[in-house]
Amino acid sequence: MSEIYMPRLSDTMEEGVISSWVKKVGDKVASGDVLVEIETDKAVMEYEAYEDGYLVKQAASEGETVPIGAVIGFIGDSPDAVPDDSGSGSAAPAEEKAEEKAEQPAEEEKPAAAPSAPAAAPAEGEQAARPRTSPLARRLAKEYGLDIEKIQGSGPKGRVVRADIEAAREQGTAAAPAAAPAAQAPAAAAPAASSADDLRASEELKVTQMRKTIARRMVESKQEAPHFYLRRTIDAEELKAFRAQINAQLAETGVKISFNDLIVKAAATTLKAHPEVNRSWVDGKLFQHHRINVGVAVAIDEGLVVPVLHDTDKATLSDISSSTRELAGKARDGKLKPQDMSGGTFSVSNLGMFGIDSFSAVINSPEPAILAVGAMKPTAVVHDGELAVRNTIALELSVDHRAVDGAVGAAFLKDLAEVLENPMRIIL
C-alpha cells in the first residue's frame, strides 16, 4: 500500500486544491498515468502516478485545499485493498514538521524540571492543558486574528495544524479576544455596511490559490525590494517598419512577429551587453546569472502568470514568437508546468494592447528588473530639427536597487532604447 502525497508543483506553492480526480476509486493505475489535477498558486497541473496498482481511496475530495505533504490518496495492489489510513488524514504535513524543527518559539522553551520535582497541578479554573499546535499554525492564527485555543485540531492527538486555521478563518469562527481598551481596534475584514442594502451589494468571493500567491508575492516584492523607476520614450517609426518587413518575409511560414516579440528580443540582446543588470539579490547574497531568461507577463482570468523564455538571447524572433504563443495558450488553458515558469532573470509586461500610455510594473522577485511597455501612439515631436508626428512607445524600467545601481539601470535603458530605434541591431 502506497500513500499519495500533495506534491510541491511550483517553487512558491504551499498548498494545493484538488481540482478533479482523473482516476476513480477502484481504477487500475499505471506508472505515468494522470491521477489527479491540482490547482496550484500558478495553474492547474496534472499529477502522475509513480507506480502501478489500483486507486483504493481518495483521502481528499474535489475542491478541498490540502497542504503540501499531506496524504490525498492510496494506491494498493488490488482494487479491494484496504488502506491503513489511521491518522493519515491528520498527519502533519512535511513542511509543518520541517518548520517546527527549525523554529522553536520562546513560549515552548522552558527549563527542564528537576527529576524529583512533581508536576505542578493546574490552578482552579485554569485550563488543564494547552492545545497542541505547530509554530506555523500559531503564526497564522495570530495573523488572522484567531484564538487558537478555540480551534479543534485535526492533527495527531488533536494537534492544531495549518488546515485547521484556514478552515476556522473561512468559517469566521474562533475570533481572538477583544484587545484592551487602550489598543486600537483592527480594521474590519469586510467592508463596513451602513444599511441592509449595502450588505446585499457586496459579497465575499472565493480566492484561488493563484490569487493568494499573487497578493502575497506582490506585497513581498514591494516591501522587500526597494524599487526605483527609469522612464524613456522611444521613436518607434523604424521599429514599425522593421516589423512590417520581417512579417512580409515570413508570410509563407505562418509566423507573425509582434512588437512585444521584438521588445523581448531587444531586452535579451541588451542584457547580454549589460550582464550587471542580469543579477539578483537573494537572502543577503548577490547572484550573477549566466543565462538570459526573459519572462513574458500573460493576463488570464485567474490572475497574472509569467511564463519564461529560456536562453532568450540565443533564440530567433521566430522562436520567440512561437514559444510566446504556445506558453500563452498553455497559461489560458491552465496547463503550464513548473519549468515553464521558473528560472526567469528579467521580465517584460506589455499593456499597450489596452491603450495604456505608460505604467509602473512590480518586480517579479527575485528577478532584478521588469520592463513596462505602453501603447504605440502618434506624438508630436521634434525630428531632424522640425516638428513632426511620429509613433512613440513609452518604456519604464522597475529595478531592484539592492542588485542594480541607478547609473547601471540608466545605461541599460539607454542602450535598449537605441536598439529599438535601430532595430537591425536586434538580430545582429
243, 257, 261, 353, 421 from 248: Cα distances, Å: 9, 10, 16, 22, 20
**Pairing mode, if any, of strands 279-282 and 227-235?**
unpaired
Q: In whole angstroms, what is the distance from residue 7 CA to residue 71 CA?
A: 10
Are the C-beta atoms of residues 59 and 88 closer than 8 Å to each other?
yes
Are the C-beta atoms of residues 136 and 100 closer than 8 Å to each other?
yes
Q: Indicate the residue type of 267.
A: A
Q: Please provide residue 391's backbone torsions phi and psi, each rounded to the nearest 5 degrees.
A: -75, 135
User: Nearest Cα to 71, choosing from 140, 161, 166?
Assistant: 161
The set of cell numbers assigned to 287 is 547572484
Q: In whole angstroms, what is the distance from residue 162 CA to residue 168 CA?
A: 10
In terms of Cβ atoms closer than 10 Å to its own Cβ (0-12, 13-18, 19+), residue 262 is buried
What is the SS3 assignment for 412? helix
User: Nearest Cα to 86, choosing from 75, 107, 71?
Assistant: 71
Q: In whole angstroms, what is the distance from residue 268 CA to residue 310 CA?
A: 10
The residue from 227, 274, 310, 401 that is catalytic is 401
Is 383 a residue of the active site? no
The DSSP code sequence of 203-251 is -PPPPPHHHHHHHHHHHHHHHHS-EEEEEEEEE-HHHHHHHHHHHHHTG
* Residues annotated catalytic, as ranges: 401
